[in-house]
A and B are shown apart, each in its own frame.
Chain A
């Protein structure tokens, strides 16, 4: 489904990704782990199409189509979804209006009729229950005044509504207490499907206890330096990043 070949990307002239190679097939769940500053978030942002990052080399295809040629909104309509590490607060735009606009943009793209306000309200209420978010949140500004956990649940709610082909979860577990982690994980597990892939980016392996990945990759210094199965995450948990020759502080300092 997603194929990344020799991807290089930089921000403000500084190279962060230095040749990423990754193949993700439909139905698979991949986890990318790595120390702070290794390029995990950059990879997520580049895939979603953030123009602050410049792709200098390499290619990315989604189901054979060149992803890098597409605008951010076109990538989303083709099925890329990024759950943000830091979801943005947008006062003045109601969550409901935002979600409905997004869902209808997708429906229009697929040639389906738009959902009217009443139909959408019904759907949104169901999905908000699924992530244990009070429907009252729908009326508030997008993420406005939400706690860290509420913001993350709102991200997962969006994924459930938009039904992407590839969901990229950027540090979705950060800032969650154990109950919220359970709710978010249940939401992500509900997304698991034969025709959908999930890419989780995380610093800690704790999330992987709840969402069990098929593959684990270690990202350091802008490259994937090791790949393996579930057991790689456990090993990292036990031994830290040091045994792979990475000093976490240095990796952060280097970036």
Chain B
């Protein structure tokens, strides 16, 4: 029998030593633990459909060089720019709001760094997120966002993750959000790229959400076709907090997002919306997991996949209701649209319920565009292309319009239009 492939030692040599001592030691310690880490294979349940798309050649083992500024600081709006995993202070514009601090990992004092080192990864089930462990062994920089109790950022904070793929390599951006009681934040993460060499983005974002805090996380994944993207988002929610997630993703050679939430305080609620669009031979894999740990929590999850040409989309949604989580209310819905006979979508809702007084609903469907609806539209003189666009858009419109930041809606719509141009021919 062939031994299971393990992570090449080339991946265990972090670069960059601008981080404070406690984070450097954490990185080293985590790196040591990854020696001989088995890589996911077809037999690894949570990588069943995606392991063959994970291509960890040694060429990707080096960190991409920190890019030089290509854009200047925005004139309005708050934003932080990661270039190849390292924050570019020149391109960033930070909010000045009482109770809110936004810091580079590199700028933390030893005490702050030591506190952070004790918390990194504590929102994630790292057994299920192998590649997040690699991020913790390799991150070169990171963003720590701290909201004191009652601090409110009324405008969204944009984090732009840019990779410049002029050479092969990887980027390991990292964000940690510590949201104090009754604080409020909308964080937008946009993943974009330039250049055409094969690269990997291995990214981790964590949210600690204290009592009554309200966090909205928006994530737009739209790198080019030379970028493998593996991301993990971990969330821990305390009493009466609310977490809203809007993910819009466009396919690539590999796109993977693990979204894990733990509802740990009574009355916490979360709402997760997701839209995935794939074309050509692209691959997109969303794994979500909601742990209802405390009683009286609500979760509502709506994901839509659209797969065209020979692309492949995967949705795996797990809801785990713990024994003490009575009166949990969980609703998960996944609908899928196949736009060609060569496309494939795999969906798997997983419910594990250990409490006896809960409401838990789930539904998953896979279908094609409805011929009767198409005929109705074209019988009014509407072109076939436009009818296809209207019906495809109808499938996801509800989720796109719910994205609470106009700028992101616009970018999503612009990318969707490109997808329609590629997918539906002019008559």
Contacts and interface: CB of A to CB of B under 8 A. Distances in A.
B393 A49 contact: no
A50 interface: yes
Contact of A162 (B376, B378, B381, B398): B381
B70 interface: no
Interface in A128-172: 141-142, 158, 162
A92 B304 CA distance: 13
Nearest to B380: A102
A72 B386 CA distance: 14
A158 B380 contact: yes
Nearest to B384: A73
A109 B382 CA distance: 10
A134 B379 CA distance: 24
Interface stretch (A3-11, A33-41, A80-88, A243-251): A80-88
Contacts of A84: 376
A22 interface: no
A97 B394 CA distance: 11
A154 B394 CA distance: 20
Interface residues of A, number: 31
Interface string A208-248: 00000000000000000000000000000000000000000
Contacts of B372: 88
B383 A105 contact: yes
A71 B427 CA distance: 10
Contacts of A158: 380
B78 interface: no
A98 B397 CA distance: 14
A31 interface: no
A88 B381 contact: no
Contacts of B381: 73, 76-77, 102, 105-106, 109, 162
Nearest to A72: B378
Contact of A92 (B384, B386, B398): B398
A71 B377 CA distance: 13
A93 B391 contact: yes
Interface in A53-95: 71-73, 75-77, 81-82, 84, 87-88, 90-93
Interface string B383-411: 11010001101110110000000000000
Contacts of B394: 90-93, 141
20 contacts: A51-B375, A71-B378, A71-B427, A72-B379, A73-B378, A73-B381, A73-B383, A75-B379, A77-B381, A87-B376, A88-B376, A90-B373, A90-B377, A98-B377, A98-B382, A101-B390, A105-B386, A106-B381, A162-B380, A162-B381
